[in-house]
C-alpha cells in the first residue's frame, strides 16, 4: 500500500486539521511509518494556497483543511475537484449550517479559538501572580513586574480586589502599609501611575477588625481593632499616599465590583488603560 500523505492546512495554526486527521487515522491501525501528516499553518494568501495545492497534486496527498476565509476555502475545493485531489473541508459545512440556524454570518476570522485560549492563559497567569505577590511578598519582583500595585492598611480589600482584577487579566501586587514597617523601596521606583491607594472609614475598620478577631478566637480588645490604633494607621497611610501622589479610593461600604470599577476608570483616566488586556 502506498504511504498515506495528508496535508493539514489552515489559515490559523492548523492544529484542528492535524488532530482530526490523526484521530481518523487511529481507527485504521496504521503504524507511524505508513502515514505522514504535514501541518501547514497560516495559509492566508491565494499564492500560498495554490503552492500547497500544486504540491498536494504532485505528491498525491489528501488535502484536509480548516480555512475560515470563504474565498480561500472555495479555491481549495474547486482546485481539488478539478485535479482529482481527495479533500476534506472541516469548516465550510458546519459554518453554513450554523449560519442558517443562527441567522448570522460567520466572522471569517482565523484563530478565534486560539485567541480565546490565550486570554484564558493570561487570566490564569494574572491569578497566579496575584496569589504569589499578595500581601507584599517578594516586593523586589512583585511590585516591579506588576501592572497595578494596590497599597493600604489591613482590611481595605487589597487581596479580594487583586483577585477580582486578576480575573480581568491584570497582574496586581498589593502592599500592606504598617507604621512599624518601612514601605518597600520598590514602591518608590515604579511609575506612580501604576499605584492606587485604598483606605476605609475608622468606624467600618473598627467593626471589620473586631469581627475578624472574634472569628479567630482572639480578644476584641487587641490593639489591632482599637480606634486609636486604626486612626494612627490611617494617618500613616495617608502620608505615604500623599508622598507618592497616587489616587486614593475609600472602600467603605462598597462592593468589590464597585471599587474594581473605580480602579479601572482611574487606570483609563491616567492613560494606563493599555495595561488592561483588550479581551478583559
Binding region: 152-159
Feature table: binding site for ADP: 152-159
Contacts of 163 (CB under 8 A, 6+ apart): 127, 130, 131
Give CA–CA dist 264/280, Å, rounded: 11
Give CA–CA dist 49/19, Å, rounded: 20
Beta strand residue intervals within the chain, DSSP E: 4-10, 35-40, 62-66, 87-89, 148-152, 172-176, 195-199, 248-250
Quick one: residue 178, left, alpha or beta (phi over 0 = left, psi -120 to 50 = alpha)? beta
Amino acid at each position: 500500500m502506498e504511504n498515506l500523505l495528508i496535508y493539514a492546512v489552515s489559515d490559523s495554526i492548523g492544529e484542528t486539521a492535524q488532530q482530526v486527521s490523526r484521530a481518523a487515522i487511529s481507527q485504521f491501525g496504521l503504524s507511524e511509518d505508513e502515514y505522514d501528516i504535514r501541518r501547514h499553518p497560516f495559509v492566508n494568501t491565494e499564492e500560498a494556497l495554490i503552492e500547497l495545492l500544486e504540491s498536494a497534486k504532485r505528491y498525491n496527498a489528501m488535502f484536509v483543511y480548516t480555512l475560515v476565509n470563504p474565498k480561500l476555502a472555495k479555491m481549495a475545493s474547486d482546485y481539488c475537484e478539478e485535479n482529482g485531489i481527495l479533500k476534506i473541508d472541516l469548516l465550510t459545512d458546519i459554518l453554513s449550517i450554523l449560519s442558517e440556524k443562527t441567522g448570522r454570518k460567520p466572522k471569517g476570522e482565523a484563530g478565534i479559538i486560539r485567541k480565546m485560549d490565550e486570554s484564558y492563559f493570561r487570566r490564569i497567569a494574572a491569578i497566579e501572580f496575584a496569589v504569589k505577590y499578595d500581601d507584599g511578598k517578594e516586593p523586589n519582583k512583585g511590585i516591579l513586574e506588576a501592572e497595578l500595585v494596590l497599597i493600604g492598611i489591613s482590611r481595605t480589600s487589597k487581596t479580594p480586589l487583586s483577585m477580582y482584577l486578576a480575573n480581568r487579566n491584570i497582574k496586581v501586587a498589593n502592599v500592606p502599609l504598617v507604621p512599624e514597617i518601612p514601605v518597600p523601596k520598590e514602591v518608590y521606583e515604579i511609575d506612580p501611575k501604576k499605584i492606587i491607594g485604598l483606605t476605609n472609614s475608622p468606624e467600618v475598620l473598627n467593626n471589620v477588625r473586631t469581627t475578624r478577631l472574634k472569628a479567630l478566637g482572639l480578644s476584641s480588645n487587641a490593639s489591632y481593632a482599637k480606634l486609636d490604633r486604626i486612626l494612627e494607621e490611617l494617618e500613616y497611610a495617608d502620608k505615604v499616599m500623599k508622598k507618592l501622589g497616587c489616587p486614593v479610593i475609600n472602600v467603605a461600604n462598597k462592593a468589590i465590583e464597585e471599587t474594581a470599577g473605580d480602579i479601572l476608570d482611574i487606570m483609563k483616566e491616567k492613560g494606563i488603560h493599555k495595561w488592561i488586556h483588550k479581551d478583559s
